[in-house]
Amino acid sequence: GSNVVLCDLEFPANYVPWQNVKKLYGAELRVVKSVDGRVPIDRFAKAIDENTRVVAISQIQFGTGFRADLGTLEKLAHDNGAYLSVDIIQAAGCFETDLVNLKIDFATGQAAKWMLGPIGAGYVYVRKSIMDKIQPRFLGWWGVEKLTEFGYFDREPLADARMFQVGSPAMVAYVGLLESLKERIC
């Protein structure tokens, strides 16, 4: 069967969803054990195989500051046909991370932490080349085409990461995120 590989240092936001994948779909969770607050790459290499669907890792671990080797993890994941999903909340605003050149499939985070923005403004990045291979589990009215046409008709998901928006965004929080981006990134 399918498996998801992650490590034992993850913040709950990066393991609870995978526990739910295990419960709903029966995927095996392979939890790589850390050593002295870090996770040796060879332990990931042993855990990842042709049945791995996702390798989930925080770029920087919240409790120890361990910084993952995303380049090597990308190669391990993609060589086995798996996606690489990276929680970048502890790195965004501190470290430049070239998601495109690193071939990260998914990246998630929020405006808080080192972006110095408000809690509640989250974001997801999806690599453009895999957009046509994935479909959201749930569709909301903010994730479909013709958002402001209110008649009853079949809707198509947006062709970008906005397809994952299932509800109305927290507009005030996103204004704060925009200001954080201007300050920290631009």
Tens digits of pLDDT across the chain (186 residues): 899 999 999 999 999 999 999 999 999 999 999 999 999 999 999 999 999 999 999 999 999 999 999 999 999 999 999 999 999 999 998 898 999 999 999 999 998 888 888 888 888 999 999 988 888 888 898 999 998 888 888 888 998 888 888 888 888 898 998 888 888 776
Question: Residue 21 sits in which domain range?
Answer: 3-121
The number of distinct structural domains making up the chain is 1
Is 83 a member of any domain? yes
Is 131 a member of any domain? no
Is 136 a member of any domain? no
Residue 99 parent element (H or E): none
Is 108 a member of any domain? yes
32, 7 in Cβ contact below 8 A?
A: yes
E strands of 9-99, at which residues?
Answer: 28-32, 52-58, 83-87
Is 148 a member of any domain? no
Is 178 a member of any domain? no
CATH code, domain with 71: 3.40.640.10
